[in-house]
Amino acid sequence: MVHFTDLSPYGDGPELVATAHGYLRFTPGYVRLCVGWLGSTCSAGPVDRAFADALHEVVTHAARFNATRGFHRCRLCPQSAVPDVPAGTMGTPADIRANAEIRVPGRADTVFAAPTTIWHYVTAHGYVPPAEFQAAVLALVASGGHHGTPDWIAAWIGADAYRFPG
């Protein structure tokens, strides 16, 4: 996995999101900011338990963006701690591997882009995401908008959207 500084621009490529009816590929009408794209180190500190629980909800239930067929292994864990098993549910040893991303709406026309391993980074390695991201995660869960393909994204999907079966 590549490293990006928190709150740096994600890029301008298309998004690919899994939906109940297959996949949707589109050019996003929002700015994406990186959160949780760690290198071999991270700054550590405490996070509020409510945030960690809300982040777990988002990572477990939110739509998966830009999924790949391979897996990224946590660079912060010793390789001996990374099992070579299919990815399982969050809270199992397989949660230290990821093959997708999540999106969390932030300020106007801005979405945070994070790898699904972000919950592991927070709970196992003490990674502290930016306060703006933490507030956005708590707001998303409080609104109930973290289940499946997000309704909030519909306004940002352009006419170039391409749907195909999964």
Q: Give the domain range for residue 30.
A: 15-164
Average pLDDT over residues 153-165: 78
pLDDT of 36 reads 93
Is there a domain that residue 7 lies in? no
Q: How many domains does the chain have?
A: 1
What is the band of 51 on the pLDDT scale with cuts at 50, 70, 90? very high
Residue 39 inside a domain? The answer is yes
Q: What is the pLDDT of residue 135?
A: 97
Span of 12-16, 54-58, 69-73, 127-131 with lowest mean pLDDT: 69-73
Phi/psi-derived region of residue 22, left when phi > 0, alpha when psi is between -120 and 50, beta in every other case: left
